[in-house]
Amino acid sequence: MFWVSDADHPPFGRIEVDPYLCIGCQKCTSKGPDGAFLDGCPWDAIEMIPTDDWEAMHGISLPDAPPPPPILHAESVAEISQG
């Protein structure tokens, strides 16, 4: 996240997000208490490591793909839509 000045309208500008460092937390675009903007970018808040290393550290093996979504029957869909 970095500041880009607007040369035609100082002191205004915009925030640009580095897509290679962004962790998707949306802190740079969210608001805090009483509408105050939150500042800062926690781009280093997480550490990405290879899956094999994580599995070895935790002694488990993750599946290659997520489980399939549940199959809903027509009766279930009707109950859900009626609340």
What pLDDT score does 83 carry?
A: 59
What pLDDT score does 59 carry?
A: 96
pTM, to two decimals: 0.37
Reference 1, options 35, 32, 43, 30; nearest CA is 43
Reference 4, options 41, 17, 15; nearest CA is 15
What pLDDT score does 2 carry?
A: 74
Q: Where are the domains of the chain?
A: 2-82
- The residue count of the chain comes to 83
d(CA 50, CA 20): 17
What pLDDT score does 26 carry?
A: 73
Give buried/exposed letters for 5-18 (b at 16+ CB in 10 A, else e): eeeeeeeeeeeeee
- Convert the pLDDT of each residue in 25-75 to its tens digit: 777 666 666 666 656 676 666 778 899 999 999 999 999 898 888 887 776
Task: Say yes or no to pLDDT of 77 above 80.
Answer: no
